[in-house]
Amino acid sequence: MSQLREIQQQFMDYLLASAAQTPVAETIEKSFSDKVAEQGGVGRDIRMQIYANAYRIRLTEVLDTDHEILGLYLGDDLFARMANGYIAHQPSRFTSLRQFADALPDYLASDAFFSQYPIISDIARFERRLLNSFDAKDERRASFAALQSLPADAWPYRQLRFHPSVQLFECASNAVETWQALKHQQVPPAPDYQGKRAWLLWRGESRLTEFISLAEYQLTLIQGFIHGANIAEQCELMLNFFAPEEAMQQLLQALQAWFQLGLILSVQPND
């Protein structure tokens, strides 16, 4: 191993061991310390500690910025516990800090302490979805006229392409209601795990990220279209929820709303 590689490996080992919040293993600290020059002014330990602190502070700031509302929900002590645990558990393998916290929801769902409160992982997952919508690719959206201009006999075999910012979020807690309360500086409701909930997120024409709740039939409908079902197939699916005369009307209303919200990129023939 080259001298340069050895130094880099020992430096990184030192940073990771320091971030693990356990006393830095003596051998790790000594291996790196032996490579550091003794200079006037401050000692080697302080010089090394500056880098260890910067590493932890920088990554904690990313979690704080990306998960502002989760931070409010947890409070300072639990947020620090989460940040320290995640930083120790999940070193960054990304060139951009934008992705650093991508695995935070999974960490919170599997950590022995945080997994006792599933709403915490749900709030983190919801905030990741918001960020994904925020950064998604820009593409020109279609209007309802694109569908209306088609001959009636072409409708059944048409599929929809959705805007890249469109995201679905499902959870078994009142995570989004809690997120909304905190966002508006209100006291959040008590955790509630009664029943599944679904939300649709997207970025509108004004480039603001928006979200609405979905009823079960709306979730089923949009999931089907996202997976490539055509209008005829989805109309049939609506028969599971509505009487025959109402099914088509409900589907049309949903389609019209989706175009208005800017969710649809194009209407295209079956694959």
Q: Near another protein by CB under 8 A, which window of 46-54, 69-77, 80-88, 215-223?
A: 46-54
> Residue 41 is encoded by which pair of tokens?
């002014």
Q: Near another protein by CB under 8 A, which window of 85-93, 109-117, 193-201, 218-226?
A: 85-93
CA distances for 258 relative to 160, 250, 261, angstroms: 10, 12, 5
Residue 128's closest CA among 78, 67, 75? 67
Residues 264 and 161 sit within 8 Å (Cβ to Cβ): yes
Q: Near another protein by CB under 8 A, which window of 23-31, 35-43, 77-85, 238-246?
A: 35-43
* Contact call for residue 30 and another protein (CB under 8 A): no
| Cβ-based nearer residue to another protein, 10 or 174 | 10
Distance between CA atoms of residues 88 and 107, nearest Å: 11
Distance between CA atoms of residues 168 and 162, nearest Å: 12
* Contact call for residue 78 and another protein (CB under 8 A): no
Q: What is the DSSP letter of 242?
A: S
| Cβ-based nearer residue to another protein, 114 or 162 | 162
Distance between CA atoms of residues 50 and 30, nearest Å: 16
* Contact call for residue 50 and another protein (CB under 8 A): yes
Residue 32's closest CA among 23, 44, 20, 21? 44
| Cβ-based nearer residue to another protein, 133 or 174 | 133
* Contact call for residue 94 and another protein (CB under 8 A): yes
User: What is the footprint of another protein within residues 165-224 (CB under 8 A)?
Assistant: 165, 203, 207
| Cβ-based nearer residue to another protein, 23 or 40 | 40
| Cβ-based nearer residue to another protein, 184 or 207 | 207
